[in-house]
């Protein structure tokens, strides 16, 4: 810091300090940098693979601009692979190597936006593969798999295998087969599927196929999604597995899902009638003069905290959208509603 202070004091020059993996600095170390950042002695640039809002002191964050660097797209990684193989000045072109299209595609996909992983695999392939009869090094799918230590699986993120796998995954959870569900989870994770995409499917299944038969399923799914995104791969695999096996083994009901479908159909196909007068808002000036809210019965003033009154619009009285099943917690819901109206 003495040199940085001399630079600002004698020459008016600020010192740029780049700290890689800044999340590894403890609170005391980060606090030490704060006064030098505040007085302009240092221009601090910190890099981290963690969420800075969890790992970097708030005082430093408040004096910083946050830039999120996104993973490279697959096509970008593929272009880097080609340059590494064929560019004689900045790559390994002097080794006379060729890479098959499917091998380049596999490496780019497996790297999952990490150029370093792809380039390391290319370098290993070029340096360890013997030349063929034509005097050139050939990097094919077998070499690519060996170099990146990962076997290719049939899973094109934009093709049929992607949609077939996710379909089997959802149907296995819906069908209460935890073994099949966790197997398809593993296939997606192995192929590099986005954990946020997987987590969204689990949350949807928890609401659509489990519903109120086990309301805790959605809580588990949502918490797993948040935890997986915060923790990241590979530990996120465990978190997602817990959520998948919970949803798969939970009692099932699609009653809530069917209820909103029926209600949406009614809204689409039937005349939209006014909200009953006694349910209309009366909290603004002049509402009572219009009769809004008149005759409303406050449920908590009655035994069981329930009173019979019309809630649906006129002409829809008695319409049933939600029909709880006899599975799991919905069995208790059925019993409660019968008791309430008895």
* CA dist., res. 175 & res. 83, Å (int): 48
Q: Are 108 and 77 in contact (CB under 8 A)?
A: yes
Give the model's pLDDT for residue 287: 67
Residue with tokens 């659509």: 208
Whether 332 shows a pLDDT value over 90: the answer reads yes
Point out the least confidently predicted range of 7-11, 151-155, 327-331: 151-155
User: Long-range contact list for 237-246, CB < 8 A, 24+ apart?
Assistant: 237/186, 237/189, 240/185, 240/189, 240/195, 240/198, 240/199, 240/202, 241/182, 241/185, 243/199, 243/202, 244/173, 244/178, 244/181, 244/182, 244/185, 244/202, 245/178, 245/181, 245/182, 246/217, 246/220, 246/221
Give the model's pLDDT for residue 160: 55
pLDDT digits (tens, 9 = 90+) for 213-268: 999 999 999 999 999 999 888 899 999 999 999 999 999 999 999 999 999 999 88
pLDDT digits (tens, 9 = 90+) for 160-174: 567 888 999 999 999
pLDDT band at 52 (very low <50, low <70, confident <90, very high): confident
pLDDT band at 154 (very low <50, low <70, confident <90, very high): very low
Residues near 43 by beta carbon (within 8 Å), at least 6 away in sequence: 14, 15, 16, 17
Tokens of 228: 């997986």
Average pLDDT of the residues in 309-333: 91
Give the model's pLDDT for residue 45: 93
Give the model's pLDDT for residue 152: 44
Whether 150 shows a pLDDT value over 60: the answer reads no
pLDDT band at 294 (very low <50, low <70, confident <90, very high): confident
pLDDT digits (tens, 9 = 90+) for 181-197: 999 999 888 877 889 99
Give the model's pLDDT for residue 122: 92
Residue with tokens 């918490």: 223
Q: For residue 18, list its beta bridge partners.
A: 45
Torsion sign, CA atoms 232, 238, 244, 250: negative
Give the model's pLDDT for residue 211: 95
Residues near 44 by beta carbon (within 8 Å), at least 6 away in sequence: 17, 19, 33, 36, 37, 60, 64
pLDDT digits (tens, 9 = 90+) for 85-135: 999 999 999 999 999 999 998 888 888 788 888 899 999 999 999 988 999
Tokens of 147: 């170099």
Whether 155 shows a pLDDT value over 60: the answer reads no
Domains and CATH numbers, the chain: 2-62 (3.40.50.300), 74-148 (1.10.8.60), 160-249 (1.20.272.10), 255-340 (1.10.3710.10)
Portion of the chain with pLDDT greater than 90, in percent:
46
Chain mean pLDDT for the chain: 88
């Amino acid at each position: 810091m003495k040199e940085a202070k001399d630079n600002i004091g004698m020459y008016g020059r600020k010192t740029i300090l780049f700290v890689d993996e800044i999340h590894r600095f403890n609170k005391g170390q980060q606090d030490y940098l704060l006064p030098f950042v505040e007085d302009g002695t240092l221009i601090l640039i910190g890099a981290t693979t963690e969420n800075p809002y969890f790992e970097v002191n708030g005082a430093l964050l408040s004096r910083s601009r946050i830039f999120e660097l996104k993973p490279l797209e697959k096509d970008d990684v593929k272009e880097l692979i080609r340059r590494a193989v064929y560019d004689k000045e900045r790559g390994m072109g002097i080794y006379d190597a060729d890479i098959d299209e499917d091998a380049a595609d596999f490496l780019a996909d497996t790297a999952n936006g990490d150029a370093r992983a792809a380039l390391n695999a290319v370098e290993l392939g070029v340096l360890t593969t013997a030349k063929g009869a034509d005097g050139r090094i050939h990097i094919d799918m077998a070499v690519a798999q060996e170099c990146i230590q990962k076997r290719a699986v049939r899973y094109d993120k934009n093709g049929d295998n992607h949609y077939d796998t996710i379909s089997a995954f959802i149907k296995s959870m819906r069908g209460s087969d935890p073994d099949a569900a966790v197997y398809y989870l593993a296939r997606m994770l192995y192929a590099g599927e986005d954990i946020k995409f997987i987590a969204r499917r689990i949350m949807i299944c928890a609401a659509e196929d489990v519903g109120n038969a086990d309301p805790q399923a959605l809580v588990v799914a949502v918490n797993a999604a948040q935890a997986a995104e915060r923790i990241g791969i590979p530990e996120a695999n465990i978190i997602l597995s817990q959520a998948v096996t919970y949803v798969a083994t939970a009692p099932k009901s699609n009653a809530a899902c069917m209820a909103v479908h029926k209600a949406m159909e009614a809204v689409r196909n039937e005349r939209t009638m006014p909200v009953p007068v006694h349910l209309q808002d009366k909290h603004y000036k002049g509402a009572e003069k219009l009769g809004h809210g008149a005759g409303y019965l406050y449920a908590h003033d009655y035994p069981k905290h329930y009173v019979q009154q019309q809630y649906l619009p006129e002409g829809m009285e008695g319409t049933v959208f939600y029909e709880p099943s006899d599975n799991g917690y919905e069995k208790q819901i059925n019993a409660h509603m019968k008791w309430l109206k008895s």
